[in-house]
Amino acid sequence: MFILIKKHLLLMLIFLFCSANSYAKINVFACEPEWASLVQILAGDRVKAFSATTALQDPHHIQARPSLIAKARRADLLICTGAELETGWLPLLLRKSANRKILPGQTGHFMASDHVLLLEKPKQLDRSQGDVHADGNPHIHLDPHRIMRIAEALSRTLSRVDADNQADYQNNWISFKESWSRAIAKWEQLCQSLRGKQIVVNHNSWVYLEDWLKLKRLATLEPKPGIAPGSTHLAQVLVQLKDSQADMILYASYQNDKAVRWLEQKTHIPVVELPFSVSTNETLFEWYDRIINQLLDSQ
Amino acid sequence: MRKKFLVAATIAAVSHINPVWADSDIEALRKQVEALKNDYEQRINALEERLRQSEAKTQLAQQKVEQIADKVATSKTSASQQQNTFNPAISLTLDGRYADFDNDPDAYELPGFMLGNEAGLGEEGFSIGHTELAISANVDNKFYGKATLAIHEHEGETETELEEAYIQTLGLGYGVALKAGRFFSAIGYLNEQHEHAWDFADAPLIYRGLFGDQLRDDGLQVSYVAPTDTFMQIGTELLRGDRFPGGGDHDGVGAWTVFANIGGDIGIEHSWQLGLNHWRENDVDDRTSGAHSHDGGPAETPSFSGDSKINSLDLVYKWAPNGNPTSRNLKLQFEYFDRREDGMITMLNSGPPEEVSTYDGQQDGWYTQAVYQFKPHWRTGIRYDRLSSNNKGSDEDVLAEAGLDDEGHTPERYSAMLEWLPSEYSRIRLQFNRDDSYENSDNQVFLQYTHSLGSHGAHQF
């Protein structure tokens, strides 16, 4: 009798374990919300995506908090920007979480910047130039064409991490490619009027957006990347703006807006506070829509 | 275009030259002109088509050129990257200070605690602190390695010390990591951090009293992170046990520790970590501390032999608006340590007869601190330290000579600091201490810089 019960229990356990396994979701640890959103589009219900940062946090400067170590410990796939954006916390997180699957060189280690060409690769590496990234500017998520390339690569990675559902990932990629191309065409149509607009930025975060929409950067409020704007530099910017009037001032919502507001008061140039990444309950598509609407509204 | 114009001009000219021509002639001419026009239009169309085609071809070629340029650029990037990654990350920390004390720093003591290792106030006036040269890299896909050289002045001489030298596994997986070599013990919150990552210019009194600022040893560390949503880590260290606060010459595991940490986030803005730790050495042999002499006689050095164990608890809480610490953030920190010792105290070079006493030591202490970054590049903080001891032995006089009598005094200290951080690589700090470590209150002022060159690794939570 007992043996029978034991057998049944064992069978049930095995069944539970197996079924749990076949429905187990791929745990994705995304360093930034845009990658969490992208993987959600490309993999749907097959993944459980977690973003280490929110749109209101500076991805350069967060800490390897205990909660992040715990999340990284359980991840099957790590998706980050790379290009030294997360250099202040990711290496430590990887060492602390001791999770082989997401280490560099493994299938589960995906760096978006490995798959696209980076702009503004510095010719000279010197800390007196501020917080420079040796590989180039890492804020690649603001160019939809680069997103497309990254999505293609990510879709291939998903197929390798979870080979059983390869067909699904392939299909998702094809439909993403279609809808994203349509969206790009729509955005580019809408943004024709923005071509050649002159902008002032807080931090050099908008290089790819400028390149895509053909915006012209007149000045940067930070004297050097990562160095807060001081009064001397701001005065110079003000003089510069007297000669050539800018159309708008851009800054990311996680950044300090003190310098931006000061300049707005002095020059009456409209300020646009853009969300630097996807918010909760928002898709990549909706986020791009939001940015573009904000830019158009500011005209 | 030009051709079309020509045709039109011809038609115009032809139709105006001789208005007296017969209708049939005109008709014939018209037809001819019409034919001419058609012919030209066809040619123009053909030309336009060819132009379109060649334009498309040029575009295609241009795209290809761009793609190739892309490839060349990326291959260049990766080549230079590779060369860089083969070089380990090198970082040099420069640390210097100006210190001012009311009391003579050589008269410093902590009643109830035998001071050893680096315990003390340091130099008065200008001095350089720890200059640290750290080299680290992933050795291969399995190991990470790091070595830190500390260069500092000690009694007029420059000393170089191998502060850390360890390897750590990367790819064991399942949350297990091994560390081997010389490293800072994982017990306590502050202990594992380098001095330059501390929020104050000096160690908490309890760290000074128990470890001589920091506990590090040679050995092996095993740690495990559980696959849970709440961070849970347990670990153990098997150590040689020869270094302060241990002592002797061990050929096996002289000392060992166990530690456990749990932590997590509350919402987006708050995070916390709690740690419990235990350190034990059952065979401390001849742990000496600061010598002193009577009336110019030979220096007598107190020495402890016996069992020693430490229990501790640490708690850290951090807050940042929206979880974005760049402009404002707050950090609260509390640590408590308790040490029990059982053995003998001997005053070396004393007597004859040599002065000895049994020793039953109870020492504990805690500190708590709050550090607030109120705007970018500016931080301020306060700290409070408090120690107590209840040490007993067969000969109270010997214990008193060894500095183990609390002299009816409770050591405590109030500290406040203000920091300016021009960038994440540099820091200027002004600190004030009201130090009641011993019966004569001391006012201490430090003006300190800590700058780091080269690659700068991430700091722990």
- The alpha carbon of residue B429 is apart from the nearest alpha carbon of chain A, in Å, by 19
Residues of chain A neighbouring B85 (CB-CB closer than 8 A): none
Task: Give me Rg for the CA atoms of chain A.
Answer: 22
pLDDT at A20: 45
Rounded Cα distance, A103 and B228, in Å: 19
Dump pLDDT digits (tens) for B385-422: 999 999 999 999 999 999 999 999 999 999 999 999 98
Spell out the alpha helix ranges (H) of A119-267.
Answer: 144-161, 166-190, 207-213, 231-243, 258-267
Tokens in use for B189?
């919150």
Residue with tokens 């050495």: B281
| Residue A19 domain flag | no
B101 strand-pairing partners: B444
Question: Could you tell me if A91 and A162 lie in one domain?
Answer: yes
* CB contacts, 8 Å: A127 with chain B: 423, 425, 453
Do A160 and A217 fall into the same domain?
no
Residue A239 has what pLDDT?
A: 87
Look over chain B and give the mean of its residue pLDDT values, rounded to a whole number: 88
Minimum-distance CB partner of B172 among A100, A117, A131: A100
pLDDT at A21: 46
Tens digits of residue pLDDT in A13-64: 555 444 444 457 999 999 999 999 999 999 999 999 999 999 999 998 899 9
Q: Are the C-beta atoms of residues B103 and B440 closer than 8 Å to each other?
A: yes
Mean pLDDT for B162-171 is 93
Contact B389, B112 (CB under 8 A): yes
Q: Which of B172, B231, B323 sits opposite A70 (nearest CB)?
A: B231
Per cent of chain B over pLDDT 90 is 63
Q: Check CB contact of B271 with chain A, cutoff 8 Å.
A: yes
| A109, A231: one domain | no
**pLDDT tens digits along B356-375:** 999 999 999 999 999 999 99
- Which of A62, A91, A100 faces B171 most closely, judged by CB atoms? A100
Q: How is B318-385 classified by DSSP, letter by letter?
A: EE-GGG-TTT-EEEEEEEEEEEEEEEEEEEET--SSPEEEEEEEEEEEEEEEEEEEEETTEEEEEEEE
pLDDT digits (tens, 9 = 90+) for B301-331: 999 999 999 999 999 999 999 999 988 999 9
What pLDDT score was predicted for residue B157?
A: 85
Predicted confidence (pLDDT) per residue in B16-67, tens digit? 555 555 677 888 888 888 888 888 888 888 888 888 888 777 777 776 766 6
What is the mean pLDDT of the segment spanning B253-266? Answer: 97
A87 and A175 in a single domain? The answer is: yes
Domain around A256: 193-297
A117 plus A198 within the same structural domain? no
What pLDDT shows up at residue B331? 97
Whether residue A111 is contained in a domain is answered as yes
Identify whether the C-beta of residue B345 lies closer than 8 Å to the C-beta of residue B403.
no
The confidence score (pLDDT) of residue A240 equals: 86
Residue B56 sits at the chain A interface (C-beta within 8 Å): no
Q: Is B177 in CB contact (< 8 Å) with chain A?
A: yes
pLDDT at B227 over 50: yes
Distance (Å, rounded) from C-alpha B249 to C-alpha B240?
8
**Is the CB of A91 less than 8 angstroms away from the CB of B326?**
no
Where are any strands of DSSP class E within B192-328?
A: 216-225, 231-239, 255-266, 270-288, 301-319
Dihedral sign from CA coordinates of A156, A158, A163, A168: negative
Of A187, A222, A256, the domain-final residue? A187
Contact residues for B367 (Cβ-Cβ < 8 A; gap 6+): B204, B205, B206, B334, B335, B383, B384, B385, B386
Q: Are residues A28 and A82 in the same domain?
A: yes
* pLDDT at position B160: 92
At A133 the pLDDT is: 78
Residues of chain A scoring pLDDT < 70: 1-23
Is A54 a domain residue? yes
pLDDT of residue B54: 81
For residues A68 and A118, membership in a common domain is answered with yes
Question: According to the model, what pLDDT value does residue B76 have?
Answer: 45
Q: Is A107 in the same domain as A200? A: no
Per-residue pLDDT band at B111 (split at 50, 70, 90)? very high
Query: Within this chain, do residues A31 and A174 fall inside the same structural domain, yes or no?
Result: yes
3-state helix, strand, coil in chain B (%, to 5): 20, 50, 30
The verdict on residue A14 lying in a domain is: no
User: Rounded to whole angstroms, how far apart are CA atoms B98 and B448?
Assistant: 6
Please list every residue in chain B whose beta carbon sits closer than 8 Å to the beta carbon of residue A94. 170
From B322's Cα to the closest Cα of chain A, the distance in A is 6
Q: What confidence score (pLDDT) does residue A98 get? A: 93
CATH code at B100-454: 2.40.160.10
Return the SS3 of A270: coil
Amino acid present at A198: Q
Q: Are residues A183 and A35 in the same domain?
A: yes
pLDDT for position B65: 67
Length of chain A in terms of residues written: 299
Q: Give the closest of A66, A99, A130 to B263, CB-based.
A: A66
> What is the nearest CA distance from A111 to chain B, expressed in angstroms?
14
CATH number at residue A72: 3.40.50.1980
How many independent structural domains does chain A possess?
A: 2
From A141, A167, A187, the end of a domain falls on A187
Is A163 in the same domain as A203? no
Q: Please determine, for residue B430, whether its predicted confidence score (pLDDT) is greater than 80.
A: yes
Domain locations along chain B: 2-80, 100-454
Q: Is pLDDT of B81 > 70?
A: no
In angstroms, the Cα distances linking B130 to B149, B210, B423, B459 are 9, 20, 20, 18
A128, A157, A187: which is the final residue of a domain?
Answer: A187
